[in-house]
A and B are shown apart, each in its own frame.
Chain A
Amino acid sequence: MNTSTVIITILLLVIVIISIQKFLSGGTGIVILKKELKSIFYSPIAWIVMALVMLLNGFSFTAALEILRKTDVDETLIGYTFSSTSFWLTYFFIFPVITMRLFSEEKKLGTIETLLTAPVQTIHLLLAKYLAALVFYFIIWIPSAVNFFLFRISSADNANAIGSFIGAYAIIFLVGIFNIAIGCLASALTKNQLVAAMACFTFCMLHFLVGFILQDLPVPESWQGSLFYFSTVKHVQIFISGLIDSRQFIYYLSFTILILSFTYNVLEYRKWKA
Chain B
Amino acid sequence: MIKVSKLSKQYVERTAVNNISFEVEPGEIVGFLGPNGAGKTTTLRMLTGYIPPTSGTASIGGHDVFSESIKARQKIGYMPENVPLYDDMRVREYLRFRAQLKGLRGQEARQGVSEAIELCGLKQIKRQMISSLSKGYKQRVGLADALVNNPELLILDEPTNGLDPNQIRSFRELIKQLGIRHTILISTHILSEVEMTCNRVIILNEGKIIANGKPNDLSRELRSANTISIELKASTKIAKDLIASIPGIKKVSEENQSGGWGYFTIRTEPGNDVRESIVHLANTQEWPLREIRTRNATLEDAFVEITQSNTSSS
A42, chain B: closest CB distance, angstroms: 7
- In the complex, what residue of chain A is closest to B70 when comparing beta carbons? A119
Residues of chain A contacted by B98 (CB below 8 angstroms):
114, 118
- In the complex, what residue of chain A is closest to B75 when comparing beta carbons? A119
* Interface SS of chain B: loop
The answer, yes or no, to whether B52 is at the interface (CB within 8 Å) is: yes
Q: How many residue-residue contacts, CB under 8 A, span A and B? A: 70
Q: In the complex the two chains form, is B52's CB within 8 Å of A274's CB?
A: yes
Q: In the complex the two chains form, is B70's CB within 8 Å of A121's CB?
A: yes
Contact residue among B54, B85, B105 (Cβ-Cβ distance under 8 Å from A109): B85
A136, chain B: closest CB distance, angstroms: 16
Q: In the complex the two chains form, is A39's CB within 8 Å of B84's CB?
A: no
Q: How large is the interface on A (under 10, 10 to 19, 20 to 34, 35 or more residues)?
A: 20 to 34
With contacts A31-B101, A35-B97, A271-B52 taken as known, whether A117 is within 8 angstroms of B85 at the C-beta atoms is: no
Q: In the complex the two chains form, is A116's CB within 8 Å of B50's CB?
A: yes
With contacts A119-B103, A274-B10 taken as known, whether A109 is within 8 angstroms of B50 at the C-beta atoms is: no
Q: In the complex the two chains form, is B145's CB within 8 Å of A114's CB?
A: yes
A93, chain B: closest CB distance, angstroms: 23
The answer, yes or no, to whether B164 is at the interface (CB within 8 Å) is: no
Q: In the complex the two chains form, is A113's CB within 8 Å of B86's CB?
A: no
Q: In the complex the two chains form, is A117's CB within 8 Å of B73's CB?
A: yes
A212, chain B: closest CB distance, angstroms: 39
Q: In the complex the two chains form, is A114's CB within 8 Å of B100's CB?
A: no
* Interface SS of chain A: helix
Residues of chain A contacted by B85 (CB below 8 angstroms):
109, 111
Contact residue among B70, B82, B86 (Cβ-Cβ distance under 8 Å from A39): B86
Residues of chain B contacted by A110 (CB below 8 angstroms):
80, 82, 84
Q: In the complex the two chains form, is A111's CB within 8 Å of B86's CB?
A: yes
The answer, yes or no, to whether B74 is at the interface (CB within 8 Å) is: yes
A35, chain B: closest CB distance, angstroms: 5
Contact residue among A39, A43, A118 (Cβ-Cβ distance under 8 Å from B101): A118
Q: In the complex the two chains form, is B102's CB within 8 Å of A270's CB?
A: no
The interface bits of chain A over 70-111 (1 if a CB of B lies within 8 angstroms of the residue's CB, else 0) are 000000000000000000000000000000000000000111
Contact residue among A109, A270, A272 (Cβ-Cβ distance under 8 Å from B84): A109
Q: In the complex the two chains form, is A43's CB within 8 Å of B88's CB?
A: yes
The answer, yes or no, to whether B196 is at the interface (CB within 8 Å) is: no
A128, chain B: closest CB distance, angstroms: 11
Residues of chain B contacted by A43 (CB below 8 angstroms):
88
Q: In the complex the two chains form, is B52's CB within 8 Å of A114's CB?
A: no
Q: In the complex the two chains form, is B88's CB within 8 Å of A117's CB?
A: no
Q: How large is the interface on B (under 10, 10 to 19, 20 to 34, 35 or more residues)?
A: 20 to 34
Residues of chain B contacted by A120 (CB below 8 angstroms):
101
Residues of chain A contacted by B9 (CB below 8 angstroms):
274
Bound-state Cα–Cα, A113 to B100, Å: 17
Q: In the complex the two chains form, is B48's CB within 8 Å of A271's CB?
A: no
Contact residue among A31, A117, A272 (Cβ-Cβ distance under 8 Å from B48): A117
Residues of chain A contacted by B190 (CB below 8 angstroms):
none
Bound-state Cα–Cα, A118 to B94, Å: 14
The answer, yes or no, to whether B25 is at the interface (CB within 8 Å) is: no
Q: In the complex the two chains form, is A117's CB within 8 Å of B54's CB?
A: no
B198, chain A: closest CB distance, angstroms: 22
Q: In the complex the two chains form, is B78's CB within 8 Å of A117's CB?
A: yes
The answer, yes or no, to whether B49 is at the interface (CB within 8 Å) is: yes
**B169-188 interface with A by 8 A CB criterion:** none
The answer, yes or no, to whether B87 is at the interface (CB within 8 Å) is: yes
The answer, yes or no, to whether A28 is at the interface (CB within 8 Å) is: yes
Residues of chain B contacted by A32 (CB below 8 angstroms):
101
Bound-state Cα–Cα, A116 to B267, Å: 51
With contacts A28-B103, A35-B97, A109-B86 taken as known, whether A117 is within 8 angstroms of B49 at the C-beta atoms is: yes
- In the complex, what residue of chain B is closest to A39 when comparing beta carbons? B88
With contacts A114-B145, A270-B51 taken as known, whether A119 is within 8 angstroms of B73 at the C-beta atoms is: yes
The answer, yes or no, to whether B159 is at the interface (CB within 8 Å) is: no
- In the complex, what residue of chain B is closest to A35 when comparing beta carbons? B97
Q: In the complex the two chains form, is B102's CB within 8 Å of A118's CB?
A: yes
**Which 7 A-B pairs have CB atoms at the shortest separation, nearest pair first?**
A110-B84, A117-B48, A31-B100, A119-B73, A111-B84, A119-B74, A117-B78
Interface CB pairs A-B, < 8 A, 7 = A109-B85, A110-B82, A110-B84, A117-B73, A118-B73, A119-B102, A274-B53
Give the A-binding residues of B (Cβ under 8 A). 9-10, 45, 48-54, 70-71, 73-74, 76, 78, 80, 82, 84-89, 97-98, 100-103, 105, 145
Question: 8 extra interchain contacts, Cβ-Cβ under 8 A, other than A27-B105, A119-B70?
Answer: A28-B103, A39-B86, A114-B78, A119-B74, A120-B101, A270-B51, A271-B52, A274-B54
Give the B-binding residues of A (Cβ under 8 A). 26-28, 31-32, 35, 39, 42-43, 109-111, 113-121, 270-272, 274
